[in-house]
Amino acid sequence: KARLRGVVFDMDGTLTVPVIDFPAMYKAVLGEDQYLSVKALNPSGIDILHHIQSWSPPLQQKAYQIIADFERQGNDRLQIMPGAAELCGFLDSKKIRRGLITRNVKDSVDIF
């Protein structure tokens, strides 16, 4: 019988209730016109970090700062997903390791 050794979580929508206004963040990074163009090409969602990889370093730095600002504002409204604390407590009681994988800024991760 295999034993569960660990669980890896994501943050937004898994451990935390999503509070970031992603369309507003994308518009702030891309500008209204480019946002609408990128959204039309990617109706299932925008991978903003992938999108800005091809930008010049100064533009990337500005984009990362905008993203970090949105995430910091989200930290002020951070809510733990209902049941997440209990689940983590259960995993701890069974000595099942927990991991976190996210693309959030370090300040958001440090809250945990």
Quick one: 88 and 61 in the same domain?
no
The residue type found at 78 is: L
Residue 12 falls in the annotated catalytic set: yes
**Alpha-carbon distance 28 to 112, whole Å?**
27
Quick one: 111 and 84 in the same domain?
yes
Average pLDDT over residues 15-26: 92
**Alpha-carbon distance 104 to 14, whole Å?**
13
Quick one: 72 and 27 in the same domain?
yes
Please give the tally of structural domains in the chain: 2
Domain membership of residue 42 as a residue range: 20-77
Per residue in 57-85, pLDDT (tens digit) is 999 999 999 999 999 898 888 899 999 99
Quick one: 39 and 86 in the same domain?
no
Quick one: 44 and 66 in the same domain?
yes
**DSSP one-letter code for 106:** H
Q: Are 99 and 9 in contact (CB under 8 A)?
A: yes
Q: What confidence category does residue 108 fall into, taking pLDDT thresholds of 50, 70 and 90?
A: confident
Quick one: 59 and 86 in the same domain?
no
Quick one: 111 and 94 in the same domain?
yes
The active-site residue, picked from 10, 69, 92, 107, is 10
Residue 69 falls in the annotated catalytic set: no
